[in-house]
Structure 1
């Protein structure tokens, strides 16, 4: 749902976790109201209003809160992660965007596209999908790719199995999608939903069997090239960081995800446990970077 302040909100189950890499050692489940800042709100440093909590709610999870912006809310505060919210300024034009990339990023895009085209008989086969009818064709092909990806297998964030939401968004002209083919087989997909003048980086993945051909990077470069002739003002890489985001973005805002919890004894204990554990892991990580301990740390993470 969207509250009066324009931010996306919703109630979801979440957890404070004691985590080493991808391994969760313990967790503290919580019922949280998620309040997500849109890219436009992040850029304006003016975000959504916090909705009232129901009796069963433990608090809020506020995502993409810009650094330096204060929320007028009481309770326990716990920062879950810090990152740069990267974006591309589409209104500036393709030439300005390309000129703003590093020489390494520009040459890398060209080299990877050339390599993949050579593997496909000299042709880079990228197919575009926009209408509801086209999205119905896109979905089963993209699902074949999504089923192979770490996003789906490890993170549970693959392309939805039900096409209804994707097709409905396309029917309102609120979606864009792309597939990259090698021969007759799709090997990478990208699906983006619209939020006003912003197009979001929602679902993405590539078949790991073709990782050496950099299909995800090639498809992302082609998609951005298309969008400079489209109707959107911004392309939003959303929360979290990654080398591909840094390399292709034209700007970014330092943000953090913030938990605002009711000051109960259980919540205080959970925050203290997770905060202490994270601090200990940060120290262990620094120690683990020393040559004498690096091999031991790697064996522990793989265990």
Structure 2
């Protein structure tokens, strides 16, 4: 049976409301995307309402929908899935940036180090005990972040989810980092490991320190440590786009996420309402961009 999954009505970065459906999640790995391979949809239990398809290769998405004509597609999102191909060393990775970008990144590192009395206090947490130390320090910060407050995308609060991460850490399938400033966590990064791939799952930073770019500084410092392991093939920035992902990624592939619902009247109404809502949000966004009001709207939504 599918898990209870909210179909969200989102304006900007704020969820206004959601309609629950029991959906079976079909998640494509980065390796699937690079290979252009689409995963088969499993059989649905009678109680399930449909599928949530995440990050399918764009070139296979239309065929996947066409092969299931009795299902109603909705919530279609097209984006580039960014990743780092970690087939060289850290120096080679840095050489891939323009000289201007390298200078900007180093300047941000120096600025943060100056605020920290000359050094970067980056700490890595390994194993089950290390994960517990990471969680104790990072979870309070996660609750303060923009992701935690508005997007429900902070570090997991559920004990079951935390236990799964602790088990992964004990099995050396997790990497976690905290960048400290004045004895307090400034930013955190938590990366589950799937085979030879690091999965960009949680990054957050103290809102009051945004002028010091702690998330960017932590990302770069953590990558240097991870490259030194010489274990990983990919750093996967997962679904969705963003300036941070585009900056640090070395490559990308086109992907699509959507859901497929059983052809019931209630589901047709839901898909139609979502399409109309998303259309109105997109139109309002275009108007705001044209009038220069978008930046103010973002501040209002985050505030």
Shorter-chain TM-score bucket reads 0.7 to 0.9
User: Relative to 1, partners in 2 of residues 1:79 and 1:25: Cα closer, same or farther, differing over 3 Å?
Assistant: closer
Q: Give, in angstroms, the shift of residue 22 of structure 1.
A: 4.1
Answer yes or no: is the 8 Å Cα contact 1:142–1:179 preserved in 2.
yes
Q: Give, in angstroms, the shift of residue 50 of structure 1.
A: 1.1
Name the SS of the counterpart of 1:157 in structure 2. coil
1:166 aligned residue: 165
What are the within-5 Å matches in structure 2 for residues 4-15 of structure 1? 11-15=2-6
User: Relative to 1, partners in 2 of residues 1:76 and 1:104: Cα closer, same or farther, differing over 3 Å?
Assistant: farther
Distance in 2 (alpha carbons) for counterparts of 1:115 and 1:26 = 41
2:139 aligned residue: 143
Task: Give the counterpart of 2:110 among 114, 135, 139.
Answer: 114
Task: Give the counterpart of 1:31 among 19, 22, 27.
Answer: 22
What are the within-5 Å matches in structure 2 for residues 84-163 of structure 1? 84-161=80-157, 162=159, 163=162
Distance in 2 (alpha carbons) for counterparts of 1:251 and 1:224 = 16
User: Relative to 1, partners in 2 of residues 1:224 and 1:52: Cα closer, same or farther, differing over 3 Å?
Assistant: same
Does residue 255 of the first structure (1) align with residue 255 of the second (2)?
Answer: yes
Distance in 2 (alpha carbons) for counterparts of 1:25 and 1:94 = 42
Residue range with higher mean Cα deviation, 131-140 or 178-187: 131-140
> C-alpha deviations, 1:50-71, integer Å up to 9, x for none?
1111111111010001211132
Answer yes or no: is the 8 Å Cα contact 1:113–1:218 preserved in 2.
yes
Distance in 2 (alpha carbons) for counterparts of 1:191 and 1:281 = 32
> C-alpha deviations, 1:46-98, integer Å up to 9, x for none?
13221111111111010001211132333112243222111101123223322
TM-score normalised over the length of structure 2? 0.88
Residue range with higher mean Cα deviation, 34-43 or 133-142: 133-142
What are the within-5 Å matches in structure 2 for residues 273-288 of structure 1? 273-288=273-288
Residue range with higher mean Cα deviation, 239-248 or 92-101: 92-101
1:5 aligned residue: none
Distance in 1 (alpha carbons) for counterparts of 2:287 and 2:208 = 35
Distance in 1 (alpha carbons) for counterparts of 2:249 and 2:152 = 26
Name the SS of the counterpart of 1:228 in structure 2. helix
1:289 aligned residue: 289
Count of aligned pairs: 291
Task: Give the counterpart of 1:73 among 63, 68, 77.
Answer: 68
Structure 1 unaligned segments of length 5 or more: list them.
1-9
Distance in 1 (alpha carbons) for counterparts of 2:243 and 2:14 = 23
Answer yes or no: is the 8 Å Cα contact 1:101–1:250 preserved in 2.
no
1:41 aligned residue: 32
Residue range with higher mean Cα deviation, 279-288 or 172-181: 279-288
1:211 aligned residue: 210
Name the SS of the counterpart of 2:45 in structure 1. coil
Does residue 55 of the first structure (1) align with residue 39 of the second (2)?
Answer: no
Distance in 2 (alpha carbons) for counterparts of 1:134 and 1:287 = 49
User: Relative to 1, partners in 2 of residues 1:101 and 1:79: Cα closer, same or farther, differing over 3 Å?
Assistant: farther
TM-score normalised over the length of structure 1? 0.88
Structure 2 unaligned segments of length 5 or more: list them.
none
